[in-house]
Amino acid sequence: MTEIDIKDKQTQTIAILGGTGKEGPGLAMRWAYAGYPIIIGSRQTEKAEKVASELNVKLGIDTIRGLKNDAAARQAEISVLTVVYTAHQFVLQDLKDDLAGKILVDATARVDFRDPKPPTPPSAGRLAQNILGSQVKVVAAFQNVPAHVLRANITEPLNTDVLVCADDIDAAQVVIQLANAGRMQAYYAGNLDNALVVEGLTALLIAINKHYGVRTASIGLSGLSY
């Protein structure tokens, strides 16, 4: 895919912290396509710049930059955390001051793909809120979206529903709109404690994929016609 046509220029900058991994590039491309200025964050500037450059080339655009995680967090209105789950708490402690006054979207599912099982409480989102304190609005979302599905056909709607958990409903609403901009249906599913269940769904989806010989099992909601 090259030379995509970005119609609606957005003003809010989105940082994808740990954006050089599996999940980050798909989200970055979907939001870049929706017109958002994007910063790929990484522990290493060079790695961030390299991935940003690759994604720009892939989309035929120049609105994706690469920075170190702390600079990325400072320059963005909304940061999305997509680091490996073992780095979750360490990265957050490091970025506490850089995220102050902003929204942090936590996409962490603390599930080991080699030994998938439901994580123990508290949820990753609750852990993040505890670390970051009340100056940051934590929203848990995007924990279950299969990375390879996210990256493929970024202009197409995703056949999966995003469950959005947050203590602050206004912040949740911002993330629901962000998901919609990335061609994903998203629904508010309660406070940050509920995010534990969304993390745990990852273990079930791994079991389902294995049992049915697929790679794309996803969760959806029904019964919401209102």
Residues found near a copy of itself in the complex (CB under 8 A): 116-118, 120-121, 146, 149, 159-160, 163, 165, 187-191, 193-194, 196-198, 200-201, 203-204, 206-208, 211-214, 216-226
Question: Whole-number minimum distance, CB 139 to a copy of itself, in Å?
Answer: 14
Q: Helical H runs in 60-194?
A: 69-75, 88-95, 124-132, 147-151, 169-181
User: 38, 65 in Cβ contact below 8 A?
Assistant: yes
Question: Whole-number minimum distance, CB 198 to a copy of itself, in Å?
Answer: 8
φ and ψ at 151, to 5 degrees?
Answer: -80, -30
Question: Whole-number minimum distance, CB 205 to a copy of itself, in Å?
Answer: 8
Query: What dihedral angle (degrees, nearest 10) is formed by the CA atoms of 53, 59, 64, 67?
Result: -30
Please state whether the peptide bond connecting residue 37 to the residue before it is cis, i.e. omega within 30 degrees of 0.
no
Position 19, amino acid:
G
Strand ranges (E), 36-194: 38-42, 64-68, 78-81, 103-106, 137-140, 161-166, 185-188
Q: Which is nearer to a copy of itself, 44 or 159 (CB)?
A: 159
Element (H, E) at 35: none
Q: Which is nearer to a copy of itself, 78 or 163 (CB)?
A: 163
Question: Whole-number minimum distance, CB 51 to a copy of itself, in Å?
Answer: 26
Structure tokens at 212: 């049915």
Question: Whole-number minimum distance, CB 56 to a copy of itself, in Å?
Answer: 29
Question: Whole-number minimum distance, CB 202 to a copy of itself, in Å?
Answer: 9
Q: Which is nearer to a copy of itself, 9 or 210 (CB)?
A: 210
Q: Which is nearer to a copy of itself, 98 or 199 (CB)?
A: 199
Q: Which is nearer to a copy of itself, 79 or 160 (CB)?
A: 160
Give the angle 132-75-47 at the CA atoms, nearest 5°.
95
Q: Which is nearer to a copy of itself, 68 or 151 (CB)?
A: 151
